[in-house]
A and B are shown apart, each in its own frame.
Chain A
Amino acid sequence: MKPPPFDYSRPTSLPEALALLGPDSKVIAGGQSLLPMLNFRLLRPSLLVDIGRIQSLRGLHETPTHLEIGATTSHRTLETHPLVAARFPVLAEAMRHVAHLAIRNRGTIGGSLSHADPAAEHPMLALLLDAQIQAAGPSGKRQIPARKFFQGSLTTALLEDEMVVAVRLPWLRPGTGWGFEEFALRAGDFATACAAALLRAGPDGRITEARLALMGVDETALRVPEAEALLLGSSPSAFGEAARLAQAAVRPATDIRASSGFRRHLVGVLVGRALEAAWGRAREGQA
């Protein structure tokens, strides 16, 4: 189908864009989620605010404490950027699983976080990497930790007159190993289930840092604090129990792609693999 009628504005600065936001307007970034919804007429905004040509919202900047990623940076840029490959290889790997090249060329990190699909890679990565999401509104900017940002399926902490302007990823400690394991029916499809892990190893072979995140298996992407607490200070012999805790932590839905039971099974398998991969890399980093 074709989109319903709307007005269109293409501001070239952030203040101009913010002045246009409100209950009847919608930001358009890459349009890779918004245009399908408009074509299906699931939405009828009166104004689209195209943020695609605001230069200050695009690109990567290094600071001593974090990597800052502008909201309109594309999935494809993150997939191929040398800085991401060197410092956040788990993010580069995750991007390879986001849809297909033609969609990755246009889709953006800010759009994906704001859309908040429970089976989308960016929200899970933001949780895994303890991202701070920078939102701007009429009263200025605020930082929202990823853990407070995702409130439900397609629901975030953003207010109607706010938009995401950047995402800050705190640098990982040297030697952090990563694992990313996604199951999808076809390359580029939304994940049926997915797990990602970060682990660091101490000199005695114990786990000194553990992060575990899942997606596609609950209302939002999630971290699994119970499993992380179990892993901390223990050894890879705890991976099996961590996977069982992850299985117990999720409430997967049954839909056209998979049953709830199959998704829970996948969580066990994928968490095990992601932890093994992360541990292998953590040990390599140590050597």
Chain B
Amino acid sequence: MTTIRLTVNGEQHEAEAEPRMLLSDFLRGPLGLTGTHVGCEHGVCGACTILLDGASVRSCLCLAVQADGCTVETVEALGTPAALSPLQEAFRAHHALQCGFCTPGMLMTATDMLRNHPLTTEEEVREALSGNLCRCTGYQHIVDAVMAVARTRA
């Protein structure tokens, strides 16, 4: 077992983990942050996407030990049910989720994209979200929601 220290959503955390523990499981288990979802565990579905030192990554393709000393942001950092973030509010307003399984990954991917990239066209938004699978919505409403936020920034 190794001791892992992380800053998650602005709070310091410390917990023990085996080297083989995935960051996704570390967040959901020892840290109890179950907002990050786990679908495929091989990098394909995007449900587990978080921000690591400010950049979006697949938490299922990162060992918790690799993230030792780093800063993590998860979907829990965005907003609360009482005070949704603008992106979450846009998802609600545009019906961009049904079962919600893909939503944390969609939100965190879009957060990185909106912070760091000039998303202007629908095509750019579609390409940005191409690594995140959704079984329910058919994507159009998710694209609409991200476009709505991208427009307010422009």
Q: How large is the interface on B (under 10, 10 to 19, 20 to 34, 35 or more residues)?
A: 20 to 34
Q: Mark B111-140, 1 if CB is under 8 A from A, else 0.
A: 011000000000000111011100000000
User: B149 within 8 Å of A by Cβ?
Assistant: no
- Which one, A33-41, A194-202, A208-216, is touching chain B? A33-41
User: B78 within 8 Å of A by Cβ?
Assistant: no
User: A7 within 8 Å of B by Cβ?
Assistant: yes
Are A32 and B25 interface neighbours, CB within 8 A?
no
Question: What are 14 A-B residue pairs whose CB atoms fall within 8 Å in the complex?
Answer: A2-B20, A2-B25, A2-B41, A3-B63, A8-B2, A31-B61, A31-B62, A35-B60, A36-B42, A38-B20, A101-B131, A102-B58, A103-B43, A103-B131
User: A245 within 8 Å of B by Cβ?
Assistant: no
Answer whether A186 and B130 are a contact pair too, CB < 8 Å, given A31-B61, A35-B63: yes
What's the dominant secondary structure at chain A's contact region? loop
Are B22 and A102 interface neighbours, CB within 8 A?
no
Are B42 and A39 interface neighbours, CB within 8 A?
yes
Q: For the complex, what is the distance from the CA of A187 to the CA of B46, rounded to whole Å?
A: 14
Q: For the complex, what is the distance from the CA of A106 to the CA of B61, rounded to whole Å?
A: 9
Count the A residues whose beta carbon is within 8 Å of the partner chain — how many? 31
* Chain B neighbourhood of A186, CB < 8 A: 130
B58's closest neighbor in chain A, by CB?
A102
Are A7 and B131 interface neighbours, CB within 8 A?
no
* Chain A neighbourhood of B2, CB < 8 A: 8
Q: Which listed residue, B55, B57, B60, B130, touches A188 by the CB 8 Å rule?
A: B130
Q: Give the Cβ gap from B131 to chain A, nearest Cβ, in Å.
A: 3
Q: For the complex, what is the distance from the CA of A40 to the CA of B127, rounded to whole Å?
A: 27
Are B61 and A35 interface neighbours, CB within 8 A?
yes
Q: For the complex, what is the distance from the CA of A15 to the CA of B3, rounded to whole Å?
A: 25
User: B96 within 8 Å of A by Cβ?
Assistant: no
User: A6 within 8 Å of B by Cβ?
Assistant: yes
* Chain A neighbourhood of B60, CB < 8 A: 35, 39
Are B20 and A4 interface neighbours, CB within 8 A?
yes
Q: For the complex, what is the distance from the CA of A158 to the CA of B68, rounded to whole Å?
A: 30
Are B112 and A101 interface neighbours, CB within 8 A?
yes
Are B43 and A36 interface neighbours, CB within 8 A?
yes
User: B90 within 8 Å of A by Cβ?
Assistant: no
Are B61 and A5 interface neighbours, CB within 8 A?
no
